[in-house]
Amino acid sequence: MLKIYNTLTGKKEIFTPIEEGKVGMYVCGNTVYDYCHIGHARAMISFDVISRFIRHLGYELNYVRNITDVDDKIIKRAEENNESTQALTERMIAAQREDELRLGNKMPDREPKATEFMQEIIDMIQVLIDKGFAYHGASGDVYYRTEAFKDYGKLNNRKLEDMLAGARIDVEAAKEHPADFVLWKQAKEGEVSWASPWGAGRPGWHIECSAMSTNCLGSHFDIHGGGPDLKFPHHENEIAQSEAATGKDYVNYWVHCGAVRVNNEKMSKSLGNFFTVRDVLEKYNPEVVRYLMVSSQYRSAIDYSDQSLNEAKVALERLYTALRGQAAADRYEPTRFTERFEAAMKDDFNTAVAVSVLFELVRELNKAKAEDANQAEQLAAELLVLADLLGLLKQDPEYFLQNSTVSQGLTEDVIQALIDERTQARKDKNFARSDEIRDELAAQGIELLDSREGTTWTRS
């Protein structure tokens, strides 16, 4: 039986889906105003592994992860860059997908953008107003009335007054209570905005996820995930909005991954220890970064440093060395290693223990290589299948062992993803983006060859 640690209850619980055989999972994605950093990578990889294993257990999973593409930070950055918010967000979304593909992630089933759900957001705000859970303030903004929701604070197991102590909360004269939060912001002159019953404006951050998740997965769904910094206020506010609007329980299992620290300090631009995924992949093979992320259980904090990455590289090289020159059987009979691997993953997706099982399997494989060729092929096949559930051992062993430190250009998956995006851009007559992708690939030594049958590529 699969057990999941539920932040809402503070304990591991046996997972029971709302609908037998099916799972709905929503994960809070990024606000796309800058490149992804390694903290984002931790969350993206954690929920990629979770989604892989849920599917491995036979569930039909609907994995939804949103994109926040309208926000104060986006507007400010677009102004600084002298570009439109749409141009900025499209560029950052494309960069995020490229980073993810390089890290070995599979894409979610659906990635709704906030700007695509504006009417649903407005409708939900109106319902909250009609029910007395929201009000139109004197400032022109619409606020959520936190005192009206009696269960406010249940995710963090704290009372409203306790959560206010020491918290950074805007105190505005237009608010009825200091903890009330904005649902709809009145637009300033020249800002991107949408028409609403309360004037031109844009949604607050929290309401976006309530509207997108309930529209994509229904008013009540199985799993909601995100980073550790989202528990309060974002996820607390999501619960208050969603349950007040629908009158139903919102989510059964709340799942939060651990933070990434840099040399035991919080990652921060002001401390000079802030690293984007692209920074890191300049020095390390993407799979080394992924190994570092999955070598700890997803709820654990990870200490990022050159030392930890070098240790991850050495460990991953041990796994690849066992596969160097070793054939793998097309079919194999699962052994005790599969049983122990699955048991670890069923215990709240404990990848740390699962990885240790891979090394035990490798020891057995190395022994079999000298004694029993057939058994070695069986074990090699088992190793590849189990590692795939973690997104590992996806490269040719010889290639990885030659390139485990410095990333050597774009992977084939990334190249194909960019070609697919370029093909769609040409269909949409977005020739500027089409040419931009061609130039980006050319700069990486990738030459595109167009024909009636499609587009192929070669490395120049």
Find the DSSP H helices in 266-350: 277-281, 286-294, 306-323, 336-346
d(Cα 167, Cα 180) in Å, to the nearest integer? 13
Q: Does residue 257 have a known ligand-binding role?
A: no
Render 39-51 in DSSP notation, one character per residue. Answer: HHHHHHHHHHHHH
440 contact partners, CB below 8 Å, separation of at least 6: 418
Amino acid at 21: G
Amino acid at 231: K
d(Cα 158, Cα 130) in Å, to the nearest integer? 27
Amino acid at 19: E
Q: Does residue 234 have a known ligand-binding role?
A: yes
Containing 353, the helix (H) or strand (E) segment is: helix 351-371
**Distance between first and last Cα of the chain:** 51
d(Cα 142, Cα 397) in Å, to the nearest integer? 57
Helix, strand, coil shares of the chain as percentages rounded to 5? 50, 15, 35
**Residue 113: count of CB within 10 angstroms of its CB:** 18
| Pairing of β 181-186 and β 201-203 | antiparallel
How many contiguous H segments (helices) and E segments (strands) does the chain have?
16, 15
d(Cα 243, Cα 130) in Å, to the nearest integer? 14
d(Cα 318, Cα 360) in Å, to the nearest integer? 11
Treating both helix axes as pointing N-terminal to C-terminal, what angle do 118-130 and 236-246 enclose, rounded to 10 degrees?
A: 70
194 contact partners, CB below 8 Å, separation of at least 6: 118, 122, 200, 201, 202
Render 402-446 in DSSP notation, one character per residue. Answer: HSSSS--S--HHHHHHHHHHHHHHHHTT-HHHHHHHHHHHHHTTE
Q: Does residue 28 have a known ligand-binding role?
A: yes
**Residue 152: count of CB within 10 angstroms of its CB:** 23
DSSP β-bridge partners for residue 144: 134, 181
User: What CA–CA distances, in Å, run from 81 to 76, 77, 88, 95, 364?
Assistant: 9, 6, 8, 17, 56
Binding residues for ATP, by number, are 269
Binding residues, by number, are 28, 209, 234, 238, 269
Binding residues for Zn(2+), by number, are 28, 209, 234, 238
